[in-house]
Amino acid sequence: MYIPPNNHCFIDGNNLHLTYKNFKWKLDYQKLRHYLLKRYRVTVAHYFIGYIYWNSALYDNLKAYGFELQQQSADRNMSGHFVHDCDQFLINMAKWTMDKYDQAIIISGDHHYADLVKELDSKGKLKLVLAPCKGGCAWQLKKAAGSKIAFLDDLEKRLKKEE
C-alpha cells in the first residue's frame, strides 16, 4: 500500500516577504501553499514571522491558506524599526522535529541556513531549498544545497498574484 510522503516546509517569512515586496511581480501565497502540497507533498508548511499587532490581517490570511505560523515578538531597535530573530527559531525547529517528517524544504536565500541544509542533507532529510530568487540567494546556501536548489522566480507563471 502506498503511503504518501510527509514532508515539511520551513519558510523564512521575512526573507520571502522582503524579496517580493519590491519584485516585478507579486507572489500569491495561496498558490504557493497549493504548489508545495501538490508538487512536494508538503503536509505542514511552517511560516516563521515576527509578530506585530497591526499585521493581524496578514497572519489571518496566511493561516487561511494553510500555513502554520511560527511567530516571535518583534521589538523596536535603536532606529525604531521592528526586528525579530526567526532564523535561529527556524533552524532549531527543523532540527528538533526531524523525526516528525520525511524530508524538509527550506524557503530562503539566506546564508544562515547553509549549515542546516548540510546537516539535513547528510541525514537524508533535505528535499530541496527553494530560494525566493536567483539574484538574492547567498552563495553559501547555493553551495550547501548543491543540486537540491530551485528558485521561486522561475515559477512566476504558476505563483504570480493576479491583480
DSSP 33-92: HHHHHHHH-EEEEEEEEEE-GGGHHHHHHHHHHTEEEEEEE-EE-TTS-EE--HHHHHHH
- d(CA 12, CA 86) in angstroms, rounded, equals 7
- pLDDT tens by residue, 42-51: 999 999 987 7
8 Å CB contact between 82 and 75: yes
pLDDT of residue 4: 84
- What is the CATH T-level fold of the domain 11-153, as seen in this structure? Rossmann fold (3.40.50)
Give per-residue burial for 59-78: e unless 16+ CB within 10 Å, then b: beebeebbbebbbeebeeee
pLDDT of residue 24: 80
Instruction: Grade residue 71 by pLDDT with cuts at 50, 70 and 90.
Output: confident
Type of residue found at 139:
W
Is the sign of the CA dihedral 76, 108, 86, 115 positive or negative?
A: negative
Evaluate if residue 67 carries a pLDDT over 70: yes
Phi first, then psi, for residue 33 (nearest 5°) are -60, -40
Instruction: Grade residue 90 by pLDDT with cuts at 50, 70 and 90.
Output: very high
Give pTM, 2 decimals: 0.89
Would you kindly state where each structural domain of the chain is located, as residue ranges?
Answer: 11-153
- d(CA 3, CA 131) in angstroms, rounded, equals 28
Type of residue found at 157:
K
Mean pLDDT for the chain overall: 89
